[in-house]
Amino acid sequence: MTEGAIIVISDEESNGLTALNFANKFGKSIKRTVNSWKIGNEESNKDAITLKKISDIDSFVNQYEPAMLVIELSENRKIQPYLSACRELRIPYCFVKPNQTIDFSNIAVPVSFLMEEKEKAPFAGLFGRFCQSKITIFEPKDYGTKAQENIQAFCTLFDSFQLKYTICKGKKDSFGIEQEITLAAPTNNFGIVIVSASREYGLDDILFGCKENKIIRKAQVPIMLINPRADLYTLCD
C-alpha cells in the first residue's frame, strides 16, 4: 500500500540506501510509511514495485498517490529524464546521491521574486514542525520588492507555528540565488535545500539544461524540488 507513503526510487546501479535513510528519517517524523519503487528488471527486484522506465513515474504517482518521492541518483544516471518525468507532479520530490549525509537540523530556502516561490513555505514548515529544523530563508539581491513580499508570506506562516527561522541576504539576484545557496550548503551546514522547479523550459534550458538540473548536478546535499502549480499561476499579457 503506497497511498500517502514516502516512495524511494532507485535503479539497478544504486542500492537506494541513502534515499531510504532520508525517507525513513522524514517518514518517522511525519508518521508516514516508506515504500520502494525500482527502475529496471522486475525479476531482480521482487521486494519493490518495478517501473520499467523512468517516464512511468508520473502514471505510477497518479495510481498510488504517494506523499513524496525520494530519488537516489546513481553515478552514471542522467538527471533530466527524472526531471521530465516529474514535471507534472503535485507532490515534492527529492534528489539524493549515494553516501550523502542526511541531516534535517538546518535547512535552506532561497526565495526569488516569482509568485510560485510561496509554495515552498508549507514544505519548509513541515521540517520546522516535525523535524525541529532551523530554517534559513535567503533573500536575493534584487532591486524590486517582490521577493521581500514572498518572504513575508513565509514569515507569516512560520510565525503561526512558532518555528525557528532566520532571514539572510544572498549575494546573487533571483536568477542565481538557488545555485548560490546550494553550492554554499555544505560550508554552512545545511542538510537540505528547497528549490522551485522551472515553470517552463526555454530554448536555453533545452539546449544546456534547466536550472534545477544544474543545481542537482552540483549539489553535495539533498535537494527538494517543488513544481509550480500551472492552475494557480498564469503569464500576464
How much is the mean pLDDT over the chain?
90
The predicted pLDDT at position 233 comes to 46
Angle ∠(81,189,115) on CA atoms, nearest 5: 55
The predicted pLDDT at position 86 comes to 95
Percent of the chain with pLDDT over 90: 79
The predicted pLDDT at position 15 comes to 87
The predicted pLDDT at position 6 comes to 97
Q: How far apart are CA 16 and CA 70, in angstroms?
A: 9
Fold of 6-96: Rossmann fold (3.40.50)
Query: pLDDT for 114-125, tens place per residue?
Result: 999 999 999 999
Query: pLDDT for 189-205, tens place per residue?
Result: 999 999 999 876 565 65
The predicted pLDDT at position 199 comes to 75
Query: pLDDT for 26-52, tens place per residue?
Result: 999 999 999 999 998 665 556 678 999
The predicted pLDDT at position 236 comes to 42
More confident of the two residues 237 and 143: 143
pTM comes to 0.92
Domain 106-226 has CATH 3.40.50.300: no
Write the secondary structure of the chain as one string of H (helix), E (strand) and C (coil).
CCCCCEEEEEECCCCCHHHHHHHHHHHHHHCCCEEEEEECCHHHCCCCEEECCHHHHHHHHHHHCCCEEEEECCCCCCCHHHHHHHCCCCCCEEEECCCCCCCCCEEEEECCCCHHHHHHHHHHHHHHHHCCCEEEEEECCCCCCHHHHHHHHHHHHHHHCCCCEEEEECCCCCCCHHHHHHHHCCCCCCCEEEEECCCCCCHHHHHHCCHHHHHHHHCCCCEEEECCCCCCCCCCC
The predicted pLDDT at position 14 comes to 83
Check whether 210 has a pLDDT greater than 90: no
**Can 6-96 and 106-226 be said to share one CATH topology?**
yes
Q: Where are the domains of the chain?
A: 6-96, 106-226
Query: pLDDT for 59-86, tens place per residue?
Result: 999 999 999 999 999 876 789 999 999 9
More confident of the two residues 208 and 216: 216
